[in-house]
């Protein structure tokens, strides 16, 4: 895949947010497995914002 096609890909554009979502999941795993707790409430704002970005449709003409 050429760099131009990669840049045009929405999935690639959102890759940092996917990584961040992975980090949230890993945080939850560490909390549960190592510390026997879940700080889930504090992850709700970030989870909702990430979800918003993933669900938002690309506007017409948007690169």
Partner 1 sequence: MHLFIELLTLIFFLGFVAHAVAMRGRAGAGFFAAMLLLGFLRENLVILRDILYGFSPLHLLLGRAPLIASIIWGYSIYAAVVWAEAVSGERFGSRRPSGRFLGLAALFMIALACFYEPFLKLIDMARWQEGTRSTLDVPWITWIGYPTMAVLFLPLWGWAMGMDSRAKRLAALLIPLPFLAFGHALALQALKSALGW
Asked if 23 interacts with partner 1 (CB under 8 A), we say yes
- Minimum Å gap between C-beta 51 and partner 1 is 11
18: buried, middle or exposed (CB in 10 Å: 19+, 13-18, 0-12)? Answer: middle
Choose which of 1, 2, 3, 5 interacts with partner 1 (CB under 8 A): 3
Choose which of 1, 2, 11, 34 interacts with partner 1 (CB under 8 A): 34
Distances (CA, A) of 39 to 12, 23, 25, 46, 49: 29, 14, 11, 13, 17
Asked if 33 interacts with partner 1 (CB under 8 A), we say no
């Amino acid at each position: 895949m050429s760099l131009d096609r990669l840049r045009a890909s929405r999935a690639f554009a959102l890759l940092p947010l996917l990584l961040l979502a992975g980090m949230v999941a890993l945080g939850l795993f560490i909390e549960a497995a190592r510390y026997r707790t879940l700080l889930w409430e504090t992850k709700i704002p970030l989870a909702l914002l990430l979800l918003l970005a993933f669900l938002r449709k690309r506007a017409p003409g948007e690169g």
